[in-house]
Amino acid sequence: MVNSPASYTQDTNVNTDHEELTQDSHPPGPGRQPQHVDDDRDFDVSNAGKINKSESEEPPIPNATIPSSSKQTAKADEIKIHCSNNTVTWRDEDGEHQTDHLDLEINIDTTANTAFLRLYGDVFIKSSKPPNRRAIYVYIRPEIIKSITYQNENNVRSLCFSLALESDLVTPKEPIVAKPKSKALLNSIVALSQVTSFTVRLNSSSTTPSAQLKKIASIFSPRPSWNAALGDLSGLYTGKGGQIVNASTAAASTHAQAESPPPYVPASSNERVFKKRKLDIPQADEHGSSANNSDMPPINSILNDMEKRIMNSIRQLGEKLLDVDASSNHCRYGTEEREELLEEVATRVDDELTDLRIQSTDVIEDVKDEVDRMLNQVDDDAKERIELLESELEGRMKHIAEEAAEKYVKDTLLNASWRMDGTMSLQRQM
């Protein structure tokens, strides 16, 4: 993550330029005049860098606290931006797609002629221990970038990427299984790594100066080389390191299914390896036989499957115990083998209990989500029904009041009497 500076210079023309930047700027190097795009960490107007006279000059703006949606460093030979919650659109053989909540991070050193670009999103995964959220990255190496174009249409700023090859998809080294609410985001990131043309529409709250975005687009002529230090994967995921994976492999990992326990093989006293099996909840069939097409997971099926696996393991271990008792070498080896089998029984039971605990937690969470969805739906239906009944009741009450008034006037006129002085009495006769 790029460290945010203490202050930055705002761009007063962020949403006022509508021209599309072409790539005719000079590459970084000795012949390129460095430009002070932003202020340094300790902003001082007296010694701030001068802007090239060919560009429009803007009056300096006092220090301001940098928002979380945009981070930028103010060095003449370095550009650092971090824009959060952007929308990325692309097109493939299935049509046009888009995804939200992706962060864009760019770090360019024009002096060293290196660059570091990546997109990433936070995906919630099924994990027995925290953290249960992992960042999935799309690394864009400058060597594969054909062009970057800056656009500003209707005050919506964007960077259009055109690549010669597909980007690198970076994930944790351990298998990942996304939770239902993050599957769409994970699939979108995987699909994004398989295309060579996409557009990043910056969040409207981003205060990254347009001048920096233009400069980023212009720098890629010629392209800088990849910044190996920033692109080192060994520092990702709390020091465990990441790996560049094939997009099809990553997609397959999201559909990993739980497997039955392997048959027991007696381990020698010199070498015994006990491995925790990583299980995943079997995904519900998209074309299930449920009459109401409910999204609720098949809890009974999951529990029955776990019970079968546990009973199968116990049965296999029981058979092994019987074999030991019936063995001709029982007196010599029975005690040692029995201890090994008992230890194996304890290990397998512990594995099954751990898996059961993990799966039960995920199932309960899915059930809670489904119950919340159903309660919200019932609440909405009830509100709609109440409004309908109130409207119908109001109409009936109005009709009854009109009929009562009409009847009262009619009865009063029928019972009216004329007096001798020519006046008329409207008093009703009881």
Cα distances (Å, whole numbers) of residue 49 to 11, 57, 379 = 16, 12, 61
pTM summary value:
0.41
> For residue 305, what are its two tokens?
């499957």
Looking at the chain, how many residues does it have?
430
Is the Cβ–Cβ distance between 219 and 27 less than 8 Å?
yes
Give the C-alpha separation, 211 to 36, whole Å.
Answer: 11
Give the C-alpha separation, 324 to 345, whole Å.
Answer: 14
Number of neighbouring beta carbons within 10 Å of residue 157? 21
* pLDDT tens digits in sequence order for the chain, 430 residues long: 334 433 333 343 334 454 444 344 444 444 444 433 344 444 343 343 343 434 444 444 444 444 444 444 446 678 999 999 999 999 988 888 888 889 999 999 988 889 999 999 999 988 777 778 889 999 999 999 999 999 998 888 999 999 999 999 999 888 888 888 889 999 999 999 999 999 999 988 888 888 888 888 888 766 677 888 888 888 888 888 888 886 555 555 544 444 444 544 444 444 444 444 444 444 444 444 443 444 445 566 777 777 777 887 777 777 777 776 666 554 545 577 777 777 788 888 877 778 777 877 878 888 888 888 888 888 888 888 898 899 889 889 988 998 888 888 877 777 766 566 656 665 555 5
Cβ neighbours of residue 165 closer than 8 Å, sequence gap 6 or more: 144, 196
Is the Cβ–Cβ distance between 165 and 146 less than 8 Å?
no
Give the C-alpha separation, 196 to 193, whole Å.
Answer: 8
> Which of 51, 130, 138, 121 minimizes the C-alpha distance to 87?
121
Number of neighbouring beta carbons within 10 Å of residue 390? 10
Which residues make beta-bridge pairs with 78?
75, 109
Which residues make beta-bridge pairs with 197?
162
